[in-house]
Amino acid sequence: MRLSRYFLPVLKENPAEAQIVSHRLMLRAGMIKQASAGIYSWLPLGFKVLRNLERIVHEEQVRAGHIPMLMPTLQSADLWRESGRYDDYGEEMLRLSDRHGRDMLYGPTNEELITDIFRSHVSSYKDLPLTLYHIQWKFRDEIRPRFGVMRGREFYMKDGYNFDLTKEDALHAYNRHLVSYLRTYERMGLQAIPMRADSGPIGGDNTHEFLVLAETGESEVFYDSTVTDIRLGDREIDYDDKAQCQAVMEEFTALYARTDETHDAAVFAQVPQDRQRSARGIEVGQIFYFGTKYSEPMGATVQGPDGKPVPVHMGSHGIGVSRLLGAIIEASHDDRGIIWPEGVTPFHCGIVNLKQGDDATDAASNQIYAALSAAGLEPLYDDTTERAGGKFATMDLIGLPWRITVGPRGLKNGVVELTSRRSGESVELSPEEAVKKVAGIYAPHHRAGAHWEPMARQSFHTWL
Ligand code: 5CA
């Protein structure tokens, strides 16, 4: 993409309404614009990152054996009356009626709708196990929408639902979700710690929230500091292997890590004192096992091996996809702007032409642009006539992890500058070497212990 043809409405001033850094940077980098309280338009740069996160979520869910689909945002109130949640859900639910006076609602979550789909089409235990998921907009009329996409009213969520014959099978589904979520967050450059939590209106008593530690987080958390040393990394996971998934779940949940709702001071006191931590965290996902809470009242039964109908065991599992943008920025920025992890960056590499209009720098910049594109990458080329300082400030603000700077002085010596946004370090290289280096960084499995993969090459959103 050439910046002169893109739509990147960056703001020079700090917007007064933004209280936390991620909200401020998303507004300043021209990623989002508030449409009304807690509801945002996703401008091109923000939309690109949102799509990248969505792609990672899809890849990891499909890898775990879960099946993508799409349910609507508007639902009929009747289904929610069946489960008993229509009255229980309270003010957070946005209720509407259509021209025939039928009660509708904008879905805050989808347990009822998916249970209805299941009961209409599945009648035998032989069709189990089954896990269906979608990524769709949700609406919760939060009393205090704030911090931009972090606590929105309209937000983008991945929600998945497992249907199993037995509790044991459903707990395997729970573990599969836990493991696939760990992979998902690590690919996004995040550490999200599973913590014992409260189930709220979803129900059940087996639930973990995934928390990214951050001072601006809305949740208060208590944990054993050694929990932050555990990584999933590159290990091969066989999602059909119950024992392996169980072992990973145990490894990640054995140490004390709880949100304030389930915090138990007496148990916490048994953690060695120098490892006791209390901090704040951003909840980027939550998994639930709730047994037959929905299948029983809604009649979602299958014929068991003995021919008798049994209600299925279910769980639901959510990732806050739009909230993740805020969480990643909270975890990865400096005073100049965002620092995108390679796995989610909107463009792989920036190209800054220090003397637009100069034959030599224009030609070299164009060549680098073409070579990076040919390597399957998506560069953002600042081909505007803005002065150098302004170009650098914009690149730093929007946070592309790598930048190639092309200037007349360097070109005389046959070099350009490759700069890491994270470390600030620059090296002088020939244009060909610079391209090779960047292409290598995004090559699969370049870094041991990290399993992010190059985006443009395998993205199902290359049209973006
Ligand atoms: N049905 C279950 C699992 S699919 C469910 O709704 N879980 S949830 O309530 O925990 O939501 C899942 C995730 O959505 C949360 O972990 C959080 O990351 C995100 N989320 C929830 N509310 C908001 C909100 N108001 N703004 C942005 N993200 C939110």
Cα 99 to averaged position of ligand 1 atoms, centre (Å): 30
pLDDT of 205? 75
pLDDT at 11 over 50: yes
Contact between 316 and 45 (Cβ < 8 Å): no
**Claim to verify: residue 80 and residue 209 sit in the same structural domain:** yes
pLDDT of 461? 39
pLDDT of 112? 95
The overall longest dimension of the chain from CA atoms, in Å, is: 82
pLDDT of 31? 98
pLDDT of 204? 75
The answer as to whether 13 is a domain residue is no
> For the chain, what is the domain count?
2
pLDDT at 449 over 90: no
Atom in ligand 1 nearest the alpha carbon of residue 282: 18
Ligand 1 contacts CB of residue 202 (under 6 A): yes
Terminal Cα-to-Cα distance of the chain (whole angstroms): 10
Cα 211 to averaged position of ligand 1 atoms, centre (Å): 12
**Claim to verify: residue 271 and residue 362 sit in the same structural domain:** no
pLDDT at 445 over 80: no
Cα 366 to averaged position of ligand 1 atoms, centre (Å): 44
To which residue do tokens 């209390």 refer?
278
In the structure encoding, which two tokens stand for residue 67, read together?
A: 């099946």
CA 316 remoteness from chain centre: 17
Atom in ligand 1 nearest the alpha carbon of residue 209: 16
Hey, whose CA ends up nearest to atom 27 of ligand 1? 151
pLDDT of 444? 67
Domain boundary among 312, 331, 350: 331
**Claim to verify: residue 243 and residue 204 sit in the same structural domain:** yes
pLDDT of 458? 40
Least confident window among 69-73, 186-190, 452-456: 452-456
pLDDT of 198? 86
The answer as to whether 8 is a domain residue is no
List C-alpha distances in Å: 18 to 13, 146, 286, 320, 449. Answer: 11, 9, 26, 20, 36
Ligand 1 contacts CB of residue 217 (under 6 A): no
**Claim to verify: residue 397 and residue 270 sit in the same structural domain:** no
CA pair distance 217, 355, nearest whole angstrom: 43
Ligand 1 contacts CB of residue 207 (under 6 A): no
Bridge partner residues of 208 (DSSP) = 196, 287
pLDDT at 234 over 90: no
Ligand 1 contacts CB of residue 318 (under 6 A): yes
**Would you call 65 exposed, middle or buried from its count of C-beta atoms within 10 A (0-12, 13-18, 19+)?**
middle
pLDDT of 199? 81
Ligand 1 contacts CB of residue 194 (under 6 A): no
To which residue do tokens 């704040």 refer?
280
CA pair distance 139, 155, nearest whole angstrom: 6
The answer as to whether 284 is a domain residue is yes
CA pair distance 285, 156, nearest whole angstrom: 12
Bridge partner residues of 459 (DSSP) = none
To which residue do tokens 């996971």 refer?
237
pLDDT of 415? 98
CA pair distance 103, 108, nearest whole angstrom: 15
In the structure encoding, which two tokens stand for residue 302, read together?
A: 């299958």
Hey, whose CA ends up nearest to atom 23 of ligand 1? 151
pLDDT at 443 over 90: no
**Claim to verify: residue 182 and residue 86 sit in the same structural domain:** yes
Atom in ligand 1 nearest the alpha carbon of residue 111: 1
Ligand 1 contacts CB of residue 157 (under 6 A): yes
Hey, whose CA ends up nearest to atom 11 of ligand 1? 318
* pTM summary value: 0.94
Cα 324 to averaged position of ligand 1 atoms, centre (Å): 11
pLDDT at 447 over 70: no
CA pair distance 379, 399, nearest whole angstrom: 13
Q: pLDDT tens digit string along 91-148?
A: 999 999 999 999 999 999 999 999 999 999 999 999 999 999 999 999 999 999 999 9
pLDDT of 411? 98
CATH of the domain at 412: 3.40.50.800
**Claim to verify: residue 55 and residue 97 sit in the same structural domain:** yes
Reported as half-sphere exposure (CB side, CA atoms, 13 A), residue 392 has a value of 14
Residue 325 is part of which domain span? 31-331
The answer as to whether 361 is a domain residue is yes
149: left (phi over 0), alpha (psi -120 to 50) or beta: alpha
Query: In the chain, what percentage of residues exceed pLDDT 70?
Result: 95
In the structure encoding, which two tokens stand for residue 213, read together?
A: 């530690």
pLDDT at 77 over 80: yes
Domain boundary among 280, 300, 331: 331
Ligand 1 contacts CB of residue 283 (under 6 A): yes
Domain boundary among 297, 331, 365: 331
Ligand 1 contacts CB of residue 112 (under 6 A): no
**Claim to verify: residue 326 and residue 366 sit in the same structural domain:** no
Determine the average pLDDT of the residues in 252-267. Answer: 96
**Claim to verify: residue 200 and residue 95 sit in the same structural domain:** yes
Ligand 1 contacts CB of residue 284 (under 6 A): yes
Ligand 1 contacts CB of residue 142 (under 6 A): yes
Contacts with 174 (C-beta within 8 Å, 6 or more apart), sequence order: 162, 206, 249, 287, 289, 315, 317
Q: Are strands 206-213 and 219-224 parallel, antiparallel or unpaired?
A: unpaired
Long-range CB contacts (within 8 A, 24+) of 190-194: 190/284, 190/324, 190/327, 190/328, 190/331, 190/341, 191/228, 191/231, 191/331, 192/284, 192/285, 193/221, 193/223, 193/227, 193/228, 193/252, 193/257, 193/281, 194/252, 194/253, 194/257
The answer as to whether 24 is a domain residue is no
**Claim to verify: residue 222 and residue 295 sit in the same structural domain:** yes
**Claim to verify: residue 236 and residue 217 sit in the same structural domain:** yes
**Claim to verify: residue 138 and residue 277 sit in the same structural domain:** yes
Ligand 1 contacts CB of residue 138 (under 6 A): no
Question: What is the average pLDDT value for the chain, to the nearest integer?
Answer: 94
To which residue do tokens 């497992």 refer?
162
Hey, whose CA ends up nearest to atom 13 of ligand 1? 320
Hey, whose CA ends up nearest to atom 22 of ligand 1? 151
Atom in ligand 1 nearest the alpha carbon of residue 319: 13
The answer as to whether 371 is a domain residue is yes
Ligand 1 contacts CB of residue 172 (under 6 A): no
Cα 3 to averaged position of ligand 1 atoms, centre (Å): 35
Cα 261 to averaged position of ligand 1 atoms, centre (Å): 16
Ligand 1 contacts CB of residue 316 (under 6 A): yes
CA pair distance 196, 135, nearest whole angstrom: 24
Q: pLDDT tens digit string along 272-306?
A: 999 999 999 999 999 999 999 999 999 999 999 99
Probe target for ligand 1 pocket from 156, 286, 330, with the most ligand atoms within 8 Å of CB: 286
Ligand 1 contacts CB of residue 323 (under 6 A): yes
CA 226 remoteness from chain centre: 24
Q: pLDDT tens digit string along 152-186?
A: 999 999 999 999 999 999 999 999 999 999 999 99
Cβ of 367: how many Cβ atoms within 10 Å? 14
Ligand 1 contacts CB of residue 208 (under 6 A): no
Bridge partner residues of 311 (DSSP) = 301
pLDDT range class, residue 464, cuts 50, 70, 90 = very low
Bridge partner residues of 41 (DSSP) = 33
In the structure encoding, which two tokens stand for residue 220, read together?
A: 């208060």
Contacts with 377 (C-beta within 8 Å, 6 or more apart), sequence order: 348, 349, 438, 439, 442, 454, 456
pLDDT of 138? 98
Hey, whose CA ends up nearest to atom 24 of ligand 1? 151
Q: pLDDT tens digit string along 192-227?
A: 999 999 888 777 779 999 999 999 999 999 999 999
Report CA dihedral (123, 129, 134, 139) to the nearest 10 degrees: 70
In the structure encoding, which two tokens stand for residue 15, read together?
A: 């917007």
